[in-house]
């Protein structure tokens, strides 16, 4: 490999792909274009590239798109739906996932009960599950009817199955779980199973 016409042998050499000219066997190496996607993940797909059990994955939704390799930014479990980001920009993804960034994630959650204000306050106080205190930034009742209700739950950290484990600690069954926003980015009217590129304004929203 050569950098700016000189053979590079130092494994710790710092390279700026936007400024340095890198060649391998005389062929210039060009950085891939950065891609930022939002996907409306359907229920039933796993958030992985390949699944040893042969289940459908979120990559099934990307067929027909001319894309470099992109990776999910965080996860939604198989039974969950909604807004999922994918990108090949690892620095951008790591910043969004860093707990110190406190990027809020908003979910609409259907539960198999109708909680009163006392129960909602217990949810807000959180619960210790497997030695871990699980809480949410906010929990509000959106609507209720019959024997079910919809809650809006906002998290600013991402722990394993956090909402399902929190509600399960109160013997509350989750019927549907849909992520509707990440930071200021809204899922909006994107059809289920469809993906699209983020606009420059949407990227700026996530950067704030």
List the catalytic residues: 77
- Alpha helices, DSSP H only, in the chain? 90-97, 117-125, 162-168, 200-207
State both tokens at 193: 């199973």
DSSP strand E in the chain: where?
2-3, 6-7, 22-24, 27-28, 36-41, 71-73, 81-87, 105-111, 127-129, 132-134, 138-145, 148-155, 174-182, 185-186, 195-197
Distances (CA, A) of 139 to 68, 95, 126: 38, 25, 10
For residues 195 and 65, is the Cβ–Cβ distance under 8 A?
yes
Q: How far is the C-alpha of 186 from the C-alpha of 206, rounded, in Å? A: 11
Distances (CA, A) of 200 to 27, 39, 114, 203: 32, 17, 41, 5
- For residue 116, the 8-state DSSP code is -
């Amino acid at each position: 490999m050569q950098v700016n016409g000189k053979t590079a042998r130092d494994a710790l050499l710092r390279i700026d792909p936007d400024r340095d000219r890198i060649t391998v066997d005389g062929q210039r190496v060009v950085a891939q274009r950065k891609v930022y996607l939002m996907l409306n993940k359907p229920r039933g797909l796993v958030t992985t590239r390949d699944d040893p059990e042969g289940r459908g994955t979120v990559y099934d939704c990307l067929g027909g798109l001319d894309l470099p390799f992109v990776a999910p930014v965080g996860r939604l479990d198989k039974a969950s739906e909604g807004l999922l980001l994918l990108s090949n920009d690892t620095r951008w993804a790591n910043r969004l996932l860093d707990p110190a960034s406190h990027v809020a994630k908003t979910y609409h959650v259907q539960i198999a009960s109708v909680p009163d204000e006392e129960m909602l306050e217990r949810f807000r106080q959180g619960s210790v599950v497997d030695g871990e205190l699980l809480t949410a930034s906010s929990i509000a009742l959106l609507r209720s009817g019959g024997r079910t209700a919809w809650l809006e739950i906002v998290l600013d950290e991402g722990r394993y199955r956090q909402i399902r484990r929190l509600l399960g600690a109160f013997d509350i069954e989750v019927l549907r779980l849909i992520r509707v926003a990440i930071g200021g980015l809204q899922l909006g009217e994107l059809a289920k199973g469809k993906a699209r590129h983020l606009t420059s304004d949407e990227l700026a929203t996530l950067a704030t």
